[in-house]
């Protein structure tokens, strides 16, 4: 049986509608899973159904996380949050971690993971962090923007068997204070955290870059998604 992966929906504030980038689903399907887009809801009874039925969960990119969730006053540079999505994903992520089901976070996903576990975020990298690297690149996004260093003691290094990796970079927020139960597995050249994991869980990994924009034709994506799906 193929594992079923619950995929967190994207939300368009202006159109008041959920949507999805097909590449998230393409990656899961190509590497042996059945993707299932969850509804955007805070109904815990309904969410519990999906939490029980799905074998793993993909936490996708999207809106900035509400600063109140990590004890900060909103900056004028922080984007408009989706409070329903924040509430839904925090509930789901806490449950997924407690159930020890596999979890992969991408961009917003790494930020939600850090906040759920007690960490904080830079609300705007350009305003709050001294760097020469442009982390918020312009389209097209299927190209390398900068490199990250994979820490030799981390699982990404063990999986990819390389110390440096070229990534795209489409974010203006990032991890500031790392949550105490997360470990860093990749850093950018300016020492911003680019990937984390929970060492005491079956598979809780998250990356700041966007594998879905590279599609299904890279070895990095293949190994990353196969490793995730294999644990589901």
Q: How many CA atoms lie within 13 A of 154 on its CB side?
A: 25
Candidate list 89, 107, 135, 232, residue with the active-site label: 107
Candidate list 82, 89, 146, 212, residue with the active-site label: 212
Strand-pair category, 34-37 with 204-207: unpaired
Phi-psi region of 158 (alpha: psi -120 to 50; beta: other; left: phi over 0): alpha
CA distance 175 to 167: 17
Q: Write the CA distances from 13 to 17, 83, 161, integer angstroms.
A: 7, 11, 40
Active site residue 107: yes
The candidate with the shortest Cα–Cα distance to 228, out of 19, 41, 54, is 54
Active site residue 172: no
Strand-pair category, 103-106 with 204-207: parallel
How many CB atoms within 10 Å of residue 135? Answer: 23
Local structure of 141: helix, strand or coil: coil
Local structure of 179: helix, strand or coil: coil
Candidate list 135, 146, 171, 210, residue with the active-site label: 210
Active site residue 92: no
Residues designated as active site? 107, 210, 212
């Amino acid at each position: 049986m193929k594992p079923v992966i619950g995929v967190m929906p994207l939300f368009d504030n202006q159109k008041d509608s959920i949507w999805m980038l097909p590449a998230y689903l393409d990656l899961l399907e190509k590497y042996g899973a059945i993707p299932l887009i969850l509804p955007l809801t805070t109904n815990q009874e309904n969410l519990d159904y999906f939490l029980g039925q799905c074998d793993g969960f993909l936490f996708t990119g999207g809106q900035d996380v509400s600063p109140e969730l990590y004890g900060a006053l909103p900056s004028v540079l922080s984007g408009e949050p989706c409070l329903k999505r924040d509430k839904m994903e925090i509930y789901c992520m806490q449950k997924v971690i407690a159930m020890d089901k596999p979890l992969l976070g991408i961009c917003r996903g790494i930020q939600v993971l850090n906040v759920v576990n007690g960490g904080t975020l830079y609300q705007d990298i350009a305003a709050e962090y001294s760097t020469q690297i442009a982390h918020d690149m312009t389209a097209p996004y299927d190209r390398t923007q900068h490199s990250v260093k994979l820490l030799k003691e981390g699982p990404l290094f063990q999986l990819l068997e390389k110390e440096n990796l070229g990534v795209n970079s489409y974010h203006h927020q990032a991890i500031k204070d790392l949550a105490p139960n997360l470990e860093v597995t990749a850093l950018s050249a300016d020492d911003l955290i680019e990937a984390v994991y929970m060492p005491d869980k079956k598979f809780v990994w998250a990356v700041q870059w966007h594998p879905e924009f590279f599609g299904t034709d890279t070895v990095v994506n293949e190994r990353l998604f196969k490793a995730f799906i294999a644990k589901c």
